[in-house]
Structure 1
Amino acid sequence: MKEPNKQIGAGMNRVDGRLKVTGAATYSAEYQLPGMSYGVLVGSTIAKGRIKSIDTRAAERAPGVLAVISHVNSPKVPGFVPTGKDPSQPQTVGGRLKVFNDDKVRFNDQPIAVVVADTLERARFAARLVKAQYDQEKHETSMEVGVKQGFVPTQAKKNPKSGVADYVRGTADAYKTGAVKLESEYVIPTEVHHPMELQSITAHWEAPDRLTLYDKTQGTLATRRDFAKEWGLPEENVKVIATFVGGAFGNALHSWPHESAAIIAARIVNRPVKLVLTREQMTTMVGYRPHTWQKIGMSATRDGKITAITHEATGQTSSYEEFTESTVQQTRMMYTAPNVNTRYRIAALDVSTPIWMRGPGEATGAFALESAMDEMAHLLNIDPMEFRLRNYTDKDPEKNLPWSSKFLKECYQAGAERIGWNKRQLKPGSLRDGEWLIGYGMGVGTFGAHRGSSKANVRLLPNGTVLLQSAVTDIGPGTGTAMTQIAADTLGLSPDKIRFEWGNSQFAQAPTQGGSAIVNTVGPAVQEACLALKEKLRTMAGASNGAFAAAKTQDVVFADGYLTLNGNPTARATYADLLRQTDNGFVTVESKPDGEHNKNYSMYSYSVHFAEVRVNPLTGEVRVSKLVSCADAGTIVNEKTAGNQMKGGAVGGIGMALMEAAVIDDRFGRYVTKDLAEYHVPVHADAPAVDVFFVNQPDPHVNALGTKGIGEIAIIGVAPAIANAVFNATGKRIRELPITPDKLI
């Protein structure tokens, strides 16, 4: 019998697409429980100081109010009690602010109280009645000041081999004696996540020692672990549900104070509490891409060989948590250069804690590195793509290891052809279409092909369908669809015979969705579980049928109501007969966790983005007229959803390059871009049709599927590609994002 067509690589529609477009998908704020109550946070109006007094009397007397909770009356949370193990950060737990634990204010809009009422409207009204008096202290929120006060992260001090520790290959600052050299500073402002779905949670104490959370999170198990520890509960007593997540770019990677506030409130009122942040609170309470200053020093020979690169960066963090990211990582390994050194610092300001945002660190660092590459190519009068090819690395210069696979040159070639790179002129401002100046630019991105530990449950049901379960979340890339395809491909079944369930902490172990590692990690677990199911069924059938006993696992074929063998269709074992051999009427197999990383290779995904822009020299308006994104990401499981990923990242890159900036009024330490009217993100009119190309060559060393990640490389390199295209169009080099008209006129 011939196996069904292969499913891996097919552009299959999303398995959850109909649920989402019809409104049948249930998000964390949409669960309705008996006795539901509603929480609304009250934020501080100062950036630093202490709460002198907090008047909640009017709020408590308001209609429908069940409780007003602040540091004055909050119950003691077990995990908030100081252990003495980390005296440097006593006000946090696992990096999280201990909400309502003391009277100290550390940033503007810090939660200082939560009002709980029987309706959302009543809770909102009462929240406006809470009044606080403060002993205000001098705050500092200016990154200009912060850069001067940057310090080495504790992580780097403890581990000199840490990715944020100083790095030297060859001679430090050797660029200063180079034949051709440049020294430029680059700035990326604070960028806020702003996914469609607001951060939300419904907390329900089902018993004094059993907690259920319907939460917007990227990791059900990480959230379970955090709050089990916070409340001194066994992990199995905390259940986290996150079946549908309406977009998350890293903002749901952390456990945040609003979640703790909802859990505290539910404890006090003894009812489920639903708490949804406002769009304004999304700016201050769930992280952001940190404001970052960078400096690149680079030298090269006159024939275009890089001799040295120095990359310095200082990123913003809060006063109560040291947040770090991989801003300088790409510089260490992207291009061949005998002398490379990086220095990374953080600046503690009176703001809330940043968090990883799509392409964390690398997207920020690539803006500086890829802009500097374009600047050097211009100084040398060499085509920017040719300059990159002259400095192409055939092995990892940082780790001195071979690449597990690398098809970046193929990306260069495909992208150049698709964008029309041959039309690009070396001299800026040479191309014009009527009143518009035309420019072309490129930017390269890379991100580690990470693989963690994961399991998957797989079960054959009496009706012949296969049920898969994993604790993994799906924040939008199509994880459920990809896993369905992998299972269908492995089992030889049609995808409509596979049901994949996810987003529940009670399911099989899976990592948090982030770092472009989910298909690499959960995919092999699904594959292994399906192979184990086939082998178990073959063994069961072989107990009464010699043909199955002598067959191999790969010969097993699922048919309509029965099991058979490839090449021997007369061998049959019905599902009903097999399931009768079990105690409970179904067959279940769980894969083993496998997080082994092949240390003999350096593993990365790669991208290159090409941009064509039009710039109006009179108004300074920039339009991205064409964008081509090319990726070397191993085996592509679903070309349609992978293409969605690349296009979404490209649009995010347009926002990064041209629009996004969270502006803070340093006089008050308060953001003035607090909604989507003031904080600009791309709309349809700002985004051209993005042309996507995949090399689609399996990586033989990352995992058995040959996959590598896409989520991060989709945005890494887009912003510098646009900035470089603007320079090619106008001759004006913009080193501080976003590129707004006032910087070009």
Structure 2
Amino acid sequence: MNEQPKPKKQIGAPLNRVDGHQKVTGAATYSAEYQLPNMAYAVLVGSTVTKGRLTGLDTKAAERAPGVLAVISHLNAPKPPGPKPEGKDPSQPQTQGNPLQVFNDDKIRFNDQPIAVVVADSWARARYAAGLVKAQYAKEKHETNLEANADKAFLPTAAKKNPKHPMNDYQRGQVDAYKTGAVKLEAEYVIPTEVHHPMELQAITAHWEAPDRLTLYDKTQGTMATRRDFAKQWGLPEENVKVIATYVGGAFGNALHSWPHEAAAVLAAKVVNRPVKLMLTREQMFTMVGYRPYTWQKLGMSATPDGKITGITHESIGQTSTYEEFTEATLAQTRMMYQSPNVTTRYRLAALDIGSPIWMRGPGEATGAFALESAMDEMAYLLNIDPLEFRLRNYTEQDPEKNKPWSTKFLKECYQLGADRIGWSKRQLKPGALRDGDWLIGYGMGVGTFGAHRGAATVSAQLLPNGTVLLQCATTDIGPGTGTAMTQIAADTLGISPDKIRFELGNSSFPKAGTQGGSSTVNSVGPATQEACLALKDKLRTLAAASNPAFTSARKEDVTMQDGYLTVGGNKDTRVSYADVLKQAGGTTVMVEAKPGGEGQKYSMYSFSVHFAEVRVHQLTGEVRVSKLVSCADAGTIVNEKTAGNQMKGGAVGGIGMALMEHALLDDRFGRYVTKDLADYHVPVHADSPAVEVAFVNQPDPHVNALGTKGIGEIAIIGVAPAIANAVFNATGKRIRELPITPDKLI
């Protein structure tokens, strides 16, 4: 027998990004870069008041301006034939569809709400003309301050309707048991509004190819969800709407919604009967595409003197808009992370005159973890116990909320990896004990978790005459390297080199997939890719059997593909060329849908992370520098350690911003942001970010999917901010409970 060498295993290999060359050379085309014949350009005009009604709109000067094709507002906008927003239940989930339809009425709901769109033959002309639109308003008193309206906070409508809704009040054991505990603490924590600022601005190019056929080149995290939204809005069959998002220049949840600017572009393209391109400005990114909501939290905790938690009460009020009830899982981690016989959680919303929030990386859990993990550090200090030891004493061996075993949980291993790398043994229980000249040195930690979610996905696989395998799926890639991971999964399954795999994505015409969010893409699309490749091998085995009987009884896993030939078990004596197989086939395309099984009914499935921070605080100026950051993850099988490491590092840098810088400051007198560009809204730059060290447990979870993956994107940021805040306390003895931690709060 003349056997071929076994191909190198690809899952786990640090493969370079398959689309990296296109991105760094500028060959990648993003949503605002498509050039279509007869293109027009649109610019939005925003409201200058926060609440009230439009009483007049003077567009004459804009309409007369050079190159202007149309000025569209509620006065002249055609009404899409689909469902109208009037009477829409604000509690309904808005994963994509936006209940605020543009130019539908004269009502102003938030500052910078789009009130008109100007369309011209160039962007410069559209922008100039937009400045000529003059509006008159009947202003009404607005409310934009959450804490001033906390007494009006309410239980989400969906929770009122459904006693089992996750946003309902939760109770395990005795209500508010911490109040009678031996050692107790009670503290309030605040996360300010944080705004999505990916490198690529939100943009869309809308093209009505026919009166009933629409193509959108859109920045979206879900091509099929966006297709569904606009098909519904315009009363079209879904197959008549195509959404293309081949490349997305970063997104943190801001592209999980269909926003007013998208609806305005589609409407404008219909009016002028030309393709229309609309890109938001950096300032409009503050007001029109969501944000992490300002959230107030109160956490009470009690423990025995030897460090066993006896009660936790965690309350939260998050902001939402007046036209949509946005909710997030702020309290989820508190209910399941630590062993406590008594846990109470209460979640409320305050409806304000602002645009709707939206999920932002680590949505809910990143906010809730700041309060929970800060309180864990505070309690450890009160007990005079090392914070890591305190967590170990309250470690959960199964999910105390669902009363189910974990599918897998290797958080203790993460603790050990991180503690060793950060040098946790150097940490002193007494704050301010370590210093280097004028710099105080402190160490802190924070834990994160996020559900290992999996949805249905479909992938098609086809062997091409040149020996390349083409895979297609409608999923998007907002930065984690989806195409690279799927290439590795396919290469491993087929036993061929990654350079023989082409994975195409970001097109709603491809086989279906969900949105890229919630750390679910590899968990969902990965199994579909694996199963499509196995089905392709089985089809090829059947076709090859027509010319070589060795394939008749061969198992599909024994069929190998290499150097243009199919073989059984790598035996060259059995080989059949791709060309011969394709001659016999009417086609080799297979399409496979992979769905989650019933494991979620038996197990509680989560990814876990722990972040360790070393900080230096200048005792005179209050300047905080993160000098070292170690992030460790239990995320199941790591498909690509390089791209997974990128995810963890990016989340860690986002956590630095959350802890030390990010704050979208609203002037409540006017309901308008003071910080409205990247000069005033600070995000971390290279000088603010140390070389983040990443460690993975890399143990598969066989219950989530056959690949053993669990998800990384969200846990990369959850727990980072409290790790830094706890390190600042360890350095200075000053406990900062309202983010960001700026020098004025330390001096």
Give the structure-1-normalised TM-score: 0.98
1:329-340 alignment to 2 at 5 Å? 329-340=332-343
2:107 to 104, 107, 111: 104
1:455-470 alignment to 2 at 5 Å? 455-470=458-473
- Cα distance in 2 for partners of 1:85, 1:652 equals 35
- Give deviations 1:671-694, integer Å, cap 9, x for gaps: 010000010000000000000000
Aligned AA for 2:395? Y
- Give deviations 1:329-376, integer Å, cap 9, x for gaps: 000000000000100001000000000000000000000000000000
The alignment partner of 1:369 has SS state of helix
- Cα distance in 1 for partners of 2:513, 2:33 equals 25
Residue matched to 1:205: 208
1:244 and 1:503 in contact (8 A); partners too:
yes
For the pair 1:650 / 2:652, whether they are aligned, the reply is yes
Aligned AA for 1:690? V
For the pair 1:682 / 2:694, whether they are aligned, the reply is no
Structure 2: tracts of 5 or more residues without a match: none
- Give deviations 1:166-189, integer Å, cap 9, x for gaps: 100001100000000000000000
Which is worse superposed, 156-165 or 397-406?
156-165
2:560 and 2:570 in contact (8 A); partners too:
no
2:619 to 612, 617, 620: 617
The verdict on how the C-alpha distance between 1:80 and 1:134 changes in structure 2, with shifts beyond 3 A counting, is farther
Aligned AA for 1:595? P
Residue matched to 1:487: 490
Residue matched to 2:673: 671
- Cα distance in 2 for partners of 1:93, 1:163 equals 20
- Give deviations 1:84-106, integer Å, cap 9, x for gaps: 674989x9994431110000000
Per the TM alignment, residue 484 of structure 1 is displaced from its structure 2 partner at its CA by 0.4
- Cα distance in 2 for partners of 1:455, 1:273 equals 32
2:454 and 2:596 in contact (8 A); partners too:
yes
Per the TM alignment, residue 550 of structure 1 is displaced from its structure 2 partner at its CA by 1.1
1:698 to 688, 697, 700: 700
Aligned AA for 1:536? K
Which is worse superposed, 305-314 or 535-544?
535-544
Aligned AA for 2:663? A
The alignment partner of 1:279 has SS state of coil
Per the TM alignment, residue 155 of structure 1 is displaced from its structure 2 partner at its CA by 1.4
The alignment partner of 2:458 has SS state of coil
Residue matched to 2:237: 234
- Give deviations 1:578-600, integer Å, cap 9, x for gaps: 111122xx410101231334110
The alignment partner of 2:638 has SS state of coil
Aligned AA for 1:447? F
Residue matched to 1:595: 596
- Give deviations 1:258-281, integer Å, cap 9, x for gaps: 000000000000000000000000
For the pair 1:635 / 2:623, whether they are aligned, the reply is no
1:146 and 1:316 in contact (8 A); partners too:
no
Residue matched to 2:404: 401
- Give deviations 1:455-512, integer Å, cap 9, x for gaps: 1011000011100001000000000100000000000010000001000000011110
Per the TM alignment, residue 445 of structure 1 is displaced from its structure 2 partner at its CA by 0.1
The verdict on how the C-alpha distance between 1:157 and 1:426 changes in structure 2, with shifts beyond 3 A counting, is same
Per the TM alignment, residue 433 of structure 1 is displaced from its structure 2 partner at its CA by 0.6
The alignment partner of 2:527 has SS state of helix
2:532 to 529, 533, 543: 529
Aligned AA for 2:358? I
The alignment partner of 1:5 has SS state of coil
1:80 and 1:93 in contact (8 A); partners too:
no
1:246-645 alignment to 2 at 5 Å? 246-566=249-569, 568-583=571-586, 586-598=587-599, 599-645=601-647
1:96 and 1:257 in contact (8 A); partners too:
no
- Give deviations 1:386-435, integer Å, cap 9, x for gaps: 00000000000000000000000000001000000000000000000111
Per the TM alignment, residue 560 of structure 1 is displaced from its structure 2 partner at its CA by 1.2
The alignment partner of 1:700 has SS state of coil
Per the TM alignment, residue 247 of structure 1 is displaced from its structure 2 partner at its CA by 0.4
Aligned AA for 1:213? L
Aligned AA for 1:410? E
2:717 to 715, 718, 743: 715
1:79 and 1:93 in contact (8 A); partners too:
no
Per the TM alignment, residue 559 of structure 1 is displaced from its structure 2 partner at its CA by 1.6
Give the structure-2-normalised TM-score: 0.98
1:164 to 144, 164, 167: 167
Aligned AA for 2:744? D
- Cα distance in 1 for partners of 2:618, 2:158 equals 47
- Cα distance in 1 for partners of 2:121, 2:287 equals 26
Aligned AA for 2:558? D
- Cα distance in 1 for partners of 2:140, 2:537 equals 66
The alignment partner of 2:727 has SS state of helix
Residue matched to 2:742: 740
2:414 and 2:632 in contact (8 A); partners too:
yes
Per the TM alignment, residue 543 of structure 1 is displaced from its structure 2 partner at its CA by 2.6
- Cα distance in 2 for partners of 1:65, 1:179 equals 72
Per the TM alignment, residue 245 of structure 1 is displaced from its structure 2 partner at its CA by 0.4
2:303 and 2:311 in contact (8 A); partners too:
yes
Cα RMSD, aligned residues only? 1.3
Aligned AA for 1:656? M
2:96 and 2:229 in contact (8 A); partners too:
no
Residue matched to 2:137: 134
- Give deviations 1:168-227, integer Å, cap 9, x for gaps: 000110000000000000000000001100000000000000000000000000000001
Aligned AA for 2:594? P
Per the TM alignment, residue 110 of structure 1 is displaced from its structure 2 partner at its CA by 0.1
Per the TM alignment, residue 2 of structure 1 is displaced from its structure 2 partner at its CA by 3.1
For the pair 1:177 / 2:180, whether they are aligned, the reply is yes
1:96 and 1:255 in contact (8 A); partners too:
no
The alignment partner of 2:9 has SS state of coil
Residue matched to 2:33: 30
The alignment partner of 2:602 has SS state of coil
Residue matched to 1:43: 46
- Cα distance in 1 for partners of 2:159, 2:95 equals 20
2:208 and 2:275 in contact (8 A); partners too:
yes
The alignment partner of 2:12 has SS state of coil
Per the TM alignment, residue 80 of structure 1 is displaced from its structure 2 partner at its CA by 4.8
2:142 and 2:671 in contact (8 A); partners too:
yes
Which is worse superposed, 272-281 or 75-84?
75-84
Residue correspondences, number: 742
- Cα distance in 1 for partners of 2:535, 2:517 equals 27
1:79 and 1:231 in contact (8 A); partners too:
yes
1:55 and 1:132 in contact (8 A); partners too:
yes
- Give deviations 1:56-107, integer Å, cap 9, x for gaps: 0000000000000000000011225357674989x99944311100000000
Identity %, equivalent residues: 79
- Give deviations 1:213-251, integer Å, cap 9, x for gaps: 000000000000001001000000000000000000000
Per the TM alignment, residue 567 of structure 1 is displaced from its structure 2 partner at its CA by 5.1
Aligned AA for 1:628? V
The alignment partner of 1:313 has SS state of strand
Residue matched to 1:661: 663
Per the TM alignment, residue 573 of structure 1 is displaced from its structure 2 partner at its CA by 1.3
Which is worse superposed, 282-291 or 151-160?
151-160
- Cα distance in 1 for partners of 2:572, 2:312 equals 64
Residue matched to 1:20: 23
